Chain A
């Protein structure tokens, strides 16, 4: 009952936030509200016991995406352009889509129903076989990195492609250099004492936590995606208080490009290694004498690849936006 009340409360807040985002004409408040939206979403995921998804949503949706949008906001006027009035066609299409989804939801199994098709077919197999085949406590990690590792490889390439796109269009990597790099002007919050001290205190812990999420992903919620996002949050904080010049001298653009491409290559090479050692692509069991150990090796290495690419790409995107005049 309490859970139900909390759920209704959170979902109502979500709807209110969404309406506020649509109605707000001030882009800064729209961006902040969308950060709040992601945070509420993360809470909802957590309520549904999807801790891994919640962590990702909080780190990427509420954290990094908000900062990226703010960095983009610097380049455009702060107010929404006076838009065209709502058009009847758009409203009809949106209303029809919503109604159809509501109609479909009448046929959906009750939340948490043990007899729901999703609980009956492959999920029990994952739960039963993971301890025996992969032997790690976090089944979500087992599914993402091994059973459906090919999808995860694909997602890493989606992230890499996004990075390529931003570097191609806005600069970074070996393309156009970041334009503000050599300016000596005071940047970000570097003139403010309190944020500076607070950030100094926080950054080491954020980076350490990122490493924990990275290497503890098999045992607790987390993995390369979340770790990368949290690591990036730490570096972004650093560049906000100390200026991008310093952040970029810690990890130069060249290194960012190497990390982005290298992570994806590392992931793929594990797959190819599986092929060379007599298995299928991404078959980790053949990587060691004992198939379970092989799975462990595979998962640790590919998660490292994921973390590298996510860190490299997100930071490249941040710098590409933030360093633009």
Chain B
């Protein structure tokens, strides 16, 4: 075998195997450097895999040389590649941009443990994205969740500990529900491999356990994905985590749960369970709609920029869930595109927040008044990413909002009210972002000091590259489009119009 065939395995092994080496280091800087290099290598691997998916496709990888369903397979399609780009990109952005910020948050002695946990979280999320086996997804979900709890608990604010405890309890319930569902399916089909499951599920006569399994899996993953009203763990976890960690997890971790949800609901259940898609639609769309509207409204009343953006994330997950719940080709396209574009926007926004906190020391609105005049470069990048979040033409956010509206219009009878809800929520997004932008440009700094104080040039360059990516993918959306198209095709297997 040549190296190219090993790409799916390397995607997981590189960060996973670097982690134990990193925790053995003595020096915080070296640990950070090791983590950054591994993360960059993962990003490179994700790009190579994306190129391969868009070219000839990536062959199935049989772990241990055992063919599925007897062994565990890794399968990479367009959707997996999209997730891999998000996960590895967000991790690299967080590590590269977070050096100064993390050095303040975490003392040198504990830093190797922290960066080890970071790499394990990265490997776990990559592992989920490439897994072709339902139980293997559970194992890597455990890995990534446990490691994410550590990362959040590293926040300097003591409230991080209570926030992470809540996340731990809810995340564990979510994972348990998922496992119960997988157990029922194994009981009725005798297999754990996704493709094999889809094949054998059609022959199962007694469908009661399967329907219950679908319910458990959907709710368990909705808990992990923070679909409204199961989002209660998210705002505090995002707020009290170290800023660099928020850049990483806010951009990708909930989306990986949605990824698994799509794999199961469309890849496995859709063609085999009568009326399952209708049930899924009826379950998810009301939740998604209330999330879109209520979470956006709640975001308006926040006095902490991180908390505001966290509630905005809950609303954005609502868009993704709404699109996924439509159970149409256009809906799935919109869901995947929005995962990509929202990750771009949120990653950039949280990176700007990291820069603000780096210079001012706090993320509360009162402390950030006038920051736009003190840090014009960073604030301009924030505005660009904010425009993408709202969905202004020319930014990446517009592309996915457009696809979402087209998908929603395709729903007979539902189209107009759903479009109204989307537009209303976008207006709410304008309001909560404007509150901050107004404060940043026209507010009076707490100590009356309006002198310039930008973050160092490398960090500013990184922030600006992220912001420009929001524009680039708004003007040239071919890459995410092609990946989403390929992902949709494998998810639906040509079943839906």
Residues of A near any B CB (own CB < 8 A): 100-101, 103-109, 116-123, 125-126, 129, 146-151, 154-155, 157-158, 160-162, 164-165, 167-169, 173-176, 257-258, 260-262, 264-265, 268, 271-272, 274-275, 278-286
Interface positions of B from 358 to 379, Cβ below 8 Å from A: none
Docked pose: A168 CA to B114 CA in angstroms: 7
Chain B residues numbered 1-29 whose CB sits less than 8 Å from any CB in chain A: 1, 6, 9, 13, 16-17, 19-21, 23-24, 26
B102 to chain A, nearest CB (A): 13
Task: Enumerate the 3 nearest inter-chain pairs by beta-carbon distance, A residue then B residue, closest first.
Answer: A121-B190, A107-B208, A104-B212
A162 partner residues in chain B, CB cutoff 8 A:
146
B206: Cβ under 8 A from any A Cβ: yes
B349 within 8 Å of A (CB atoms): no
Asked whether A281 lies within 8 Å of B191 as measured between CB atoms, the reply is: no
Find out whether the CB atom of B150 lies under 8 angstroms from the CB atom of A107.
Answer: no
**Distance of A129 Cα from B71 Cα, bound (Å):** 13
Distance in Å from the Cβ of B412 to the closest Cβ of chain A? Answer: 32
Partner of A157, one of B143, B149, B206, B208: B143
Q: Which of B36-44, B58-66, B309-317 contacts A (4 or more CB under 8 A)?
A: B58-66
Q: How far is the CA of A109 from the CA of B204 in the complex (A)?
A: 12
Residues of A within 8 A of B70 (CB): 122, 125-126, 129, 147
Grouping DSSP codes into helix (H, G, I), strand (E, B) and loop, the B interface class, with mixed when no group exceeds half, is helix
**Contact check: which of A103, A123, A158, A258 meets B146 at CB < 8 Å?**
A158
Smallest beta-carbon distance A294→chain B, Å: 10
Q: Is the CB of B113 within 8 A of A173?
A: yes
* CB-CB nearest in chain B for A171: B110
27 contacts between A and B (CB under 8 A): A103-B212, A104-B212, A104-B213, A105-B209, A107-B188, A107-B209, A108-B209, A121-B191, A129-B70, A146-B64, A147-B64, A154-B136, A157-B16, A157-B19, A167-B113, A168-B153, A174-B112, A175-B110, A262-B20, A264-B20, A268-B17, A275-B9, A278-B1, A280-B62, A280-B64, A281-B13, A283-B64
Closest beta carbon of chain A to B480's beta carbon, Å? 29
* B65 and A283 form a contact (CB under 8 A): yes
Report whether B143 and A154 are in contact in the complex, using a CB–CB cutoff of 8 Å: yes
Given contacts A108-B209, A126-B70, A281-B9, A117 and B116 within 8 Å (CB-CB): no
Contact of A280 among B1, B109, B114 (CB under 8 A): B1
* In the bound complex, CA of A155 to CA of B127 (Å): 13
**Contact status B113-A284, CB under 8 Å:** no
Which chain A residue has the least Cβ–Cβ distance from B135?
A151
Q: Residue B105 at the A interface, CB < 8 A?
A: no
The CA-CA distance from A175 to B112 in the complex, in Å, is 9
State the CA gap A199–B209 with chains docked (Å): 49
Task: For the complex, give the distance between the alpha carbons of A176 and B110 in Å.
Answer: 8
Which residues of A have CB within 8 Å of B170? none
Q: Is the CB of A257 within 8 A of B24?
A: yes
Q: Is B272 an interface residue (CB 8 A)?
A: no
- Cα distance, A50 to B110, chains bound together (Å): 41
A272 to B63, CA, bound (A): 12
Selecting from B179-187, B259-267, B318-326, B384-392, the interface stretch reads: B179-187
How many B residues are at the interface, by size bracket?
Answer: 35 or more
Contact of B21 among A118, A146, A261, A279 (CB under 8 A): A261
Which of B20, B135, B187 lies in contact with A118, CB distance below 8 A?
B187
B113 x A109 contact (CB < 8 A): no
Cross-chain contact A176 with B139 (CB below 8 angstroms): no
Task: Determine which residue in A167, A174, A260, A264 has the highest number of CB atoms from chain B within 10 A of its CB, and name it.
Answer: A174
Q: Which residues of B contact A146 (CB under 8 A)?
A: 64, 66
Q: B117, B135, B136: which contacts A161 (Cβ < 8 A)?
A: B117
On whether the beta carbons of A149 and B69 are closer than 8 Å, the reply is no
B61 contact set on A, CB distance < 8 A: 280-281
CB distance from A106 to the nearest CB of B (A): 6
B residues in contact with A100, CB < 8 Å: 212, 215-216
Residue from the list B21, B63, B180 in contact with A281, Cβ < 8 A = B63
